[in-house]
Structure 1
Amino acid sequence: MTSPTDDTASAAETDKARTGAFASRRPISRLTILRALVEVRMWWRDGVIADLDHVATIERVRGESLLTSRYIFMTAMSAGIAILGLLLSSPAVVIGAMLLSPLMNPILGTGFSLATGDADWLRRCGKALVAGSVFAILFCALIVYFSPLQTVTEEIAARTRPNLFDLLVALFSALAGSYAVIRGREGTIVGVAIATALMPPLAVVGFGLATFNWTVFGGALGLFITNLVTIGLTAALMARLYGFQSDMTHRQTRLQSMVMVAVFVSLAVPLGFSLRTIAWEANGQRIVNQEVAEAFTGRARVEQPIVNWAAEPVTIAASVFTPEFNPGADSEVAERLSQRLGRPVVVTIDQFQVGTDPGAAEQAALAQARVREAAEASERQIATLGQSVALIAGVARKDVMLDRENQTVQATAQPLAGLTLSGYRQLEQRLERTTPGWTVDLRPPLVALPEVTVSEEGLDDANTSRVALIGWAARRTGLRITLSGSESALAAVTQALGADARYIDTTTSGAGNTVTAAWSTAAGTVPD
């Protein structure tokens, strides 16, 4: 048996042990935290920063970030490869353009010049950036202008909707790139250039400029600016962290840091909203796929539904290959989706009955996918043609008439300052070249008609072209034109007009060899 004295001693020892354990778990004091921070700072200063050759690093970055002939040449080659890869929708070609792009160097130079407070270096980096960017945009626009391919491919569309993830990619790439430059490991820049993808957005900006697609233009420009600003500011912060000092006062340095943070926030907020919208649409697409599939048997094959989130109500179109029809599928799916999405929905499901063989639905779906791909490509081509005609004619899209059956597009052009009759015809011919198989009928305004000179040998090539232009103008407008000149000159011009002579009135005047053309005051139309 234990005595009361032993119990008392045991209890005292237990209390003492608990007190010691509590003492060992006391919160870390503020002084301890400050000492640890001071030690880390000293280690960073003496063990990391002290090993760097700041002067050599600055000179290396400065030499690679300025405007040179090599920089312009490599920018042009990178831009050309990028726009061709985007038009062909080839990721491999686009990656090749990223490898060549020299734009990362002046952006990093901008960051280091901000950190060191070198205003002259900052100005020269800015000059290189502006020159390279503008040159790349114009060079890409020139290629697209003369290219028969002017449709918005998947590779182009992917660079027109920047979001918060794009900012994070640029942030992490800038951290890696700055570290590689500071530590003398520039080989890493190749991977950074691929991750950040600076040149493809610029190429898409050029595409938007050449095709007058301002939605594409603005989205791609936003992505490029996001990458540019994020990389530049992150490089400045990294340079300052690694001890690249400036002549600025402590107050100026703190103000600069606050401005950098404010810029990051101003970029992150709208990009965050854009990411939220994209995430909501992606989740909505998954719900749509699920609900459409559940309306049919397990042997049915559902093609990817097409959802128009911008419409009100939301419109959904889907194709289903099924052994058994479901007559009430449209209303059934629409009701369930309206409840799950919280928005009114209109659903249109095209049902195609197939055999009961296990592979029948898959084979039918494959055939339908090929037909749909061809139809979508044709629709994109038609939409682009209608928009291009509207822009060139200076009218609204609704004023352009598209005849799909006869593959003809018509519009009446508005007068444009400085544009002659020949210019309107060249615009029409350019549109026809970009859309093979379609006939473009661009009705020109009633601008001045050219004069025709008939020599003793007849009409030379230049004057034959002028006669053809007069005939084209009369044919497009359907209005009569009066020709004035000597009898012999009028006979030569009328003969050259051929069938278009039915639009022509003639007035004999003088004995010269010049024929003038003017719109008839009666302005009567010629019946077909």
Structure 2
Amino acid sequence: MTQKILNFIDLHKGEENKKSVIENITNAVSFRGSNIWILACAIIIASVGLNVNSTAVIIGAMLISPLMGPIVGAGFGLGMYDFELLKKSIKNLIIATLVSLVTSTLYFYASPFKEAQSELLARTSPNIYDILIAFFGGLVGVIAVTRLEKGNPIPGVAIATALMPPLCTAGYGLALGNYIYFLGAMYLYTINCVFICIATFLIVKYLKYPITKQLDQKHQKRVKYGISILILFLITPSVYFAYQLYNQKSYNSRVEVFLQDEFHNKDYPLIYKKIRYNADPKKIELAFLTKKFDDKEIKDLNKKLINYNLPNTKLIIRQDTVNLRKDIMNQINNNQTAVDQKDILINSLRNQLSQYNFNTNQINNEAKILFPTLTSLKIGNYTIENDATRSKIIPVILFQSTKGLDEATQIKMKMWLKQRLAKDSIEVYQQN
């Protein structure tokens, strides 16, 4: 039974010839000519996506990025003790990284939009989950490149490992002189590169790729110790960031319980909320629509914070209406652009739908009054494609009558329907 399971998950099945794989990997390592241009274009696309907060654009940039080549090459070089391939891969990865940083820095320096969007901010504080994504994404990638049939995993790996956005975020940090963003993004990029490389190293060892240079036991131990130290060096800060993220989410959850029990359940309409987690002490700023709190009530509420496991926290209830109004208006203005864009899209869709929808029942009733012999009238839409980019929608009317309508009556009905439907052209046919 155990042997059957091992055969079922055996990676040697469907494996491509090792020599062909090594040749493909070696060719993909180099960054010259077209690869540099493709990389620069992908960086610009990803930077635009981060600039306008568009996930779809960022994903598109990741799909066309050639950055995986030298990283996987480094993993193969390490796994086969091919130090020439390793050196070549690292050299080309450094070139690609510098080209990416210069391109993204120039873009963000020239861009008139300097505000950090959520997609960009997400790449400044990596944690343990980013390590897991990079490692398992790297496993999928190297398994895919060693298969006879590459299949769909390759583009998925490009998206999952997300090498492009951190580089663009680092360029954003350089362009604005924000070195915290730069260092956070470069740390995430380093995590991705190293753990994709380590995943590649493990699969290369498992599949028993030929060793280029025989190393004695002492040198093999040095390689293993070096990898272990590098993993520990990268994991430690990311675990700390993950712990911080967990603490913040846990704190926010307890704040919500406090607000629910002390305010929402008492029907106090909340119009302003701001949680300052990184302040010392932490601050919860609130404002209410009608409820006014005196000093004693605020003091009692602050004492209750301990009961909700919210130590080192100060509750501030904003009742200065002038300054509060300014803060609320600033929040509204910050979100107004997104709201306006949604409203424009909704109105556009409504206008498009209005071209297709007619009040058929009402038109039918009016038609029977104007043309008493009509028994039914149906309205549909027919799309005429003028060329590859334009089309025209024409209403088509089918009618039934107890007796045939003469030509003059049909012309009259057609003119009335044009006016009624507000269309330049329509088609009218009698249904037998």
> TM-score if structure 2 supplies the norm length?
0.69
Q: How many residues align?
A: 328
Q: Which has the higher contact order (CA 8 A, sep 6+)?
A: 2
Correspondence 1:163 to 2:115 = no
Q: Which moved more, 1:50-59 or 1:147-156?
A: 50-59
**Structure 1: runs of 5+ lacking an equivalent:** 1-35, 354-366, 379-528
Q: SS of the residue aligned with 2:318?
A: strand
Q: Quote the Cα distance in structure 2 between the aligned partners of 1:155 and 1:226.
A: 18
Q: SS of the residue aligned with 1:171?
A: helix
CA apart distance, 1:85: 1.0
Q: Quote the Cα distance in structure 2 between the aligned partners of 1:271 and 1:297.
A: 37
Measured against aligned partners, the alpha-carbon deviations of 1:85-144 in whole angstroms (never above 9, x if no partner) come to 111111111111111111112111110111111122112211211111111111111111
Q: Quote the Cα distance in structure 2 between the aligned partners of 1:334 and 1:176.
A: 51
Any conservation in 1 of the 2:277–2:283 contact (CA below 8 Å)? yes
2:214 is aligned to 248
**Structure 2: runs of 5+ lacking an equivalent:** 338-432
Q: Quote the Cα distance in structure 1 between the aligned partners of 2:18 and 2:72.
A: 15
Correspondence 1:312 to 2:280 = yes
Measured against aligned partners, the alpha-carbon deviations of 1:11-49 in whole angstroms (never above 9, x if no partner) come to xxxxxxxxxxxxxxxxxxxxxxxxx99x79996999827
Q: SS of the residue aligned with 2:112?
A: coil
Q: How does 1:294-443 map to 2 (within 5 A)?
A: 294-298=261-265, 299-302=267-270, 305-321=273-289, 324-327=291-294, 330-341=298-309, 343-350=311-318, 371-374=330-333
Measured against aligned partners, the alpha-carbon deviations of 1:196-253 in whole angstroms (never above 9, x if no partner) come to 1100000000000010011111111111011111111111111111111312335133
Any conservation in 2 of the 1:54–1:244 contact (CA below 8 Å)? yes
1:56 is aligned to 20
Any conservation in 1 of the 2:15–2:146 contact (CA below 8 Å)? no
Q: Cα distance 1:100–1:318, how it changes in 2: closer, same or farther (>3 A)?
A: farther
Q: Quote the Cα distance in structure 2 between the aligned partners of 1:192 and 1:304.
A: 42
Q: How does 1:49-448 map to 2 (within 5 A)?
A: 52-184=16-148, 185=150, 187-246=152-211, 247-249=213-215, 251=217, 252-298=219-265, 299-302=267-270, 305-321=273-289, 324-327=291-294, 330-341=298-309, 343-350=311-318, 371-374=330-333
Aligned residue identity for 1:248:
Q
Q: Quote the Cα distance in structure 1 between the aligned partners of 2:103 and 2:336.
A: 26
Aligned residue identity for 1:211:
L
Q: SS of the residue aligned with 1:249?
A: coil
Q: Cα distance 1:302–1:232, how it changes in 2: closer, same or farther (>3 A)?
A: farther
Aligned residue identity for 2:260:
A
Measured against aligned partners, the alpha-carbon deviations of 1:142-196 in whole angstroms (never above 9, x if no partner) come to 1111111111111111110010011011011011111101114164111011111
CA apart distance, 1:267: 1.6
2:361 is aligned to none
Q: Quote the Cα distance in structure 2 between the aligned partners of 1:335 and 1:313.
A: 14
Q: Quote the Cα distance in structure 2 between the aligned partners of 1:262 and 1:94.
A: 33
Q: SS of the residue aligned with 2:314?
A: strand
Q: Cα distance 1:227–1:248, how it changes in 2: closer, same or farther (>3 A)?
A: same
Any conservation in 1 of the 2:38–2:66 contact (CA below 8 Å)? yes
CA apart distance, 1:337: 2.5
Any conservation in 1 of the 2:272–2:328 contact (CA below 8 Å)? no
CA apart distance, 1:52: 4.3
Any conservation in 1 of the 2:67–2:163 contact (CA below 8 Å)? yes
Q: Quote the Cα distance in structure 1 between the aligned partners of 2:168 and 2:318.
A: 39
Larger Rg belongs to? 1
Any conservation in 2 of the 1:175–1:235 contact (CA below 8 Å)? yes
Q: Quote the Cα distance in structure 1 between the aligned partners of 2:336 and 2:132.
A: 34
Any conservation in 1 of the 2:258–2:305 contact (CA below 8 Å)? yes
Q: SS of the residue aligned with 1:161?
A: coil
Q: Cα distance 1:319–1:90, how it changes in 2: closer, same or farther (>3 A)?
A: farther
Any conservation in 1 of the 2:302–2:315 contact (CA below 8 Å)? yes
Q: SS of the residue aligned with 1:68?
A: coil
CA apart distance, 1:318: 2.7
Aligned residue identity for 2:64:
L
Q: How does 1:505-516 map to 2 (within 5 A)?
A: none
Measured against aligned partners, the alpha-carbon deviations of 1:395-440 in whole angstroms (never above 9, x if no partner) come to xxxxxxxxxxxxxxxxxxxxxxxxxxxxxxxxxxxxxxxxxxxxxx
CA apart distance, 1:66: 1.3
CA apart distance, 1:51: 5.3
Q: SS of the residue aligned with 1:311?
A: coil
Q: Cα distance 1:377–1:152, how it changes in 2: closer, same or farther (>3 A)?
A: farther
Q: Which moved more, 1:174-183 or 1:306-315?
A: 306-315
Q: SS of the residue aligned with 1:305?
A: strand
CA apart distance, 1:306: 2.4
Q: Quote the Cα distance in structure 2 between the aligned partners of 1:235 and 1:205.
A: 25
Q: Quote the Cα distance in structure 2 between the aligned partners of 1:334 and 1:208.
A: 39
Q: SS of the residue aligned with 2:85?
A: helix
Any conservation in 1 of the 2:270–2:288 contact (CA below 8 Å)? yes
Q: Quote the Cα distance in structure 2 between the aligned partners of 1:269 and 1:202.
A: 22
> TM-score if structure 1 supplies the norm length?
0.57
Any conservation in 1 of the 2:76–2:200 contact (CA below 8 Å)? yes
Q: SS of the residue aligned with 2:113?
A: coil
Q: Cα distance 1:288–1:250, how it changes in 2: closer, same or farther (>3 A)?
A: same
Q: SS of the residue aligned with 1:243?
A: coil
CA apart distance, 1:308: 2.1
CA apart distance, 1:300: 4.0
Q: Cα distance 1:377–1:162, how it changes in 2: closer, same or farther (>3 A)?
A: farther
1:31 is aligned to none
Q: Quote the Cα distance in structure 1 between the aligned partners of 2:329 and 2:12.
A: 60
